[in-house]
Amino acid sequence: MEQEFTYIRDIHFINSNVSSLDSLREMYSNGLFSDVKLPENLSQEIPGLSDNIKSPLKRRMSQLSLGVYQALQNGGAKNLREDDEIYLFTSFAEIDTSNKIIADLELNQSKLVSPVLFHNSVHNTPLGYYTIINKYHNYCLAVSDGINTGKSFVDLIKFLVRINPEFVIVAGDEYSSFYDLEVKYKYQLYPSFVSYKIQKNVDEQKGFFLKHENCSWEQIKSFLCDYEYVFADKESFIELKDKVNAELLTDYPIVGDAPISIITRLALPFILSLHGKTAVIGHFKGKYFLFEVVL
């Protein structure tokens, strides 16, 4: 049976030092994706997030809601159809608003939660703002599974591409001082947002598909000899350094330790126009997966 490919288009990515796809292409040309170093200018603030949002509602929107808005408006939803479904993946959702509520209740001994804070604390808040401001009535779903949200993306995407020929993905997380309370793990978490449209490619054998999942590390390594490029998470990149013939790349310099980094990683071969075959790999709880991208 011939493999069905799915294409990624209408992509947009933003963080504190990336505002265009050309910026990412320049980073690739300068070798940024060939090492697991974070740029010195990567920051927890993203300038211009409220630009071009022509609604007073933007004053209520969090960094997450603003970032999701900009990613959709300039990416996956810029050619939105009435029947396009929109899927948001966010590891920690409106965590900074939730942190403010906790601080009010516990630290400030408040007896009541601000109504403005409460309705901004639910995990589908960003999609609510986006559709209300633009008067859209599309089906929306928000997925927020903490550090397992990347795995939820992989699990959902393999079924969606079979039943839905075209839909929109948006993903991102905001910064919050709440992260500083973590004592066991010190993650490098910086806000970033990505959006794109996924569309079944019926005309040619180009695009992506999930080729392997639930594999051991040894199995994944054995598959990589078939590829010209390998895009890996930080840990896999370190393990594979100088051990594969393919050009080894990582998205770590633009997403840090984001649990949803796979969503950006899958789009990068399309952004960078990596012609040939690319393996996009990742892992969850010791089990590895591999997306094959052919361009």
Residue pLDDT, tens place only, 66-96: 999 999 999 999 999 999 999 999 987 766 6
Which is more confidently placed, 123 or 34? 34
d(CA 128, CA 119): 10
Neighbour-count burial for 176-195, b at 16+ CB within 10 Å, e otherwise: beebeeeeeeeeebbbbbbb
> Which one is predicted more confidently, 3 or 147?
147
Mean predicted lDDT score pLDDT of the chain = 88
Please give the full DSSP string across 25-59, using - where no structure is assigned.
Answer: HHHHHTTGGGS----TT--S--TTTTTT--SGGGG
Which two three-digit tokens encode residue 17?
């030092």
Would you state the pLDDT for residue 146? Answer: 85
Give tens-digit pLDDT for 277-291.
999 999 998 899 999
pLDDT tens-digit readout, 154-196 = 999 999 998 888 999 999 988 866 666 666 666 778 899 999 9
* Helical (H) or strand (E) element with 1: none
Give the C-alpha separation, 237 to 234, whole Å. Answer: 5
Residue 221 has pLDDT above 60, yes or no: yes
pLDDT of 116-152, one tens digit each?
A: 666 676 768 889 889 999 999 999 999 988 888 999 9
What domains does the chain contain, in order, with CATH numbers? 5-201 (3.40.47.10), 207-294 (3.40.47.10)
DSSP state at residue 23: H
Please tell me which residue, 115 or 215, carries the higher pLDDT value.
Answer: 215
Apex CA 11: angle with CA 8 and CA 17, to 5°? 140
